[in-house]
Amino acid sequence: MKVLVSGGTGLVGRYVVEELLAAGYQVIVGARRAPLPRFFSRPVEFAALSLDPDRDQIDAFDDAYFFVHAAFNHVPGKYRGGEGDDPKSFHKLNLDGTVRLFEAAKRAGTRRCVFLSSRAAYGEHPPGTELNETMMPKPETLYGQIKLDAEGALTHLSAPSFAGVSLRATGIYGDLTPNKWDGLIADYLAGRPVAARAGTEVHGRDLGRAVRLMLETESTRISGEVFNISDLSVDTRDILAPIRRETSCPHALPPPADKAALNPMSTEKIGALGWIPGGAPLFEQTMRRLAAALPVSADTHNQ
């Protein structure tokens, strides 16, 4: 069965595509431009796809039994605050355009739709508050509100013939290049100041496995539902310590950040369906891979 993945060439969507390919799915990558040859580990098909709500793109869904919506239009490097100085277009593309794609998928006969939402839909809560799917969301950013509204639209469209489910994901890390931590690692190796920050993360491949689970679980157990996707809390020190160890970089690590102030996400709900993330072992393995892939620098070793 074929899966159409919008935004499949993006930093997050690429992990989803790779996991689906590894599981034997045929993947159609929906994007503005076709991926470069050998961008993915295995061959994929391509469908031109846009977030423009004024376009009828039902033809893109002709061969798609499943649809995974990972596309999002934003200022480079930013999701929260990704509207820049154009909130109107941000809203039009990411909410109106998203709902339009959901509607096109349903009209085309696509059987399931998985929407990659965000923990930003929860909004701010007192430090240490665990976030779970029964809580009343109260997003305080345009990004979070758009994600929440898109979740609601998909739930409204869900039906026995069109199972819609939203995955509220935390930060996504991984070992593909380019990488979300490229800038952080480069700053540290160059001796530039690195702030002590903490956040919750999940590996992109674990997100991909969660998507697979949504495609393979009995539809009545997931249709119209929201599931948290998160794994572990890390800070900049945790990220850079393996880099320092593997490269013998002489620069001091940033101090530990206050992880107690974070809001962990409960994954009990999706865990009941059999999802188990990689935890600390996968994080350590990933950081070793990132360190091993760094170019050897005489400056790093001789300072």
Between CA 94 and CA 51 the distance in angstroms is 7
Beta-bridge partner residues of 112: 66, 163
Q: What is the CA radius of gyration of the chain?
A: 20
Question: SS3 for 6?
Answer: strand
Q: What is the mean pLDDT of residues 105-113?
A: 98
Q: What is the CATH number of domain 2-174+202-229?
A: 3.40.50.720
Position 254 confidence tier, pLDDT thresholds 50, 70, 90: very high
Q: How does pLDDT run across 76-98, given as a tens digit for each residue?
A: 665 666 676 789 999 999 999 99
Q: What is the mean pLDDT of residues 36-61?
A: 96
With a pLDDT cut of 70, the percent of the chain lying above it is 94
pTM, full prediction: 0.94
- What type of residue is 79? Y
Q: Which pLDDT belongs to residue 79? A: 64
Q: Which pLDDT belongs to residue 239? A: 97
Q: How does pLDDT run across 188-222, given as a tens digit for each residue?
A: 999 999 999 999 999 999 999 999 999 999 999 99
**Helix count and strand count (H, E) for the chain:** 10, 10
Between CA 241 and CA 287 the distance in angstroms is 9
Q: Which pLDDT belongs to residue 67? A: 98
Show the tokens assigned to 89: 């277009």
Residue 5 has pLDDT above 90, yes or no: yes
- What type of residue is 115? F
Q: Which pLDDT belongs to residue 28? A: 98
At which residue do the structure tokens 């593997």 appear?
A: 246
Q: Which pLDDT belongs to residue 86? A: 83
Show the tokens assigned to 129: 């508050």
Between CA 3 and CA 13 the distance in angstroms is 12
Going by C-beta distance under 8 Å and a sequence separation of 6 or more, which residues neighbour residue 284?
242
Residue 72 has pLDDT above 80, yes or no: yes
Nearest CA among 200, 203, 184, 182 for reference residue 192:
184
Q: How does pLDDT run across 263-282, given as a tens digit for each residue?
A: 999 999 999 999 999 999 99
Q: Which pLDDT belongs to residue 278? A: 98
Q: How does pLDDT run across 170-183, given as a tens digit for each residue?
A: 999 999 988 999 99
Between CA 301 and CA 303 the distance in angstroms is 6
Residue 297 has pLDDT above 60, yes or no: no
Between CA 226 and CA 265 the distance in angstroms is 13
Position 227 confidence tier, pLDDT thresholds 50, 70, 90: very high
Q: How does pLDDT run across 113-156, given as a tens digit for each residue?
A: 999 999 999 999 999 999 999 999 999 999 999 999 999 999 99
Question: SS3 for 268?
Answer: helix
At which residue do the structure tokens 């496995």 appear?
A: 209
What CA–CA distances, in Å, run from 105 to 102, 157, 161, 251?
5, 10, 11, 51
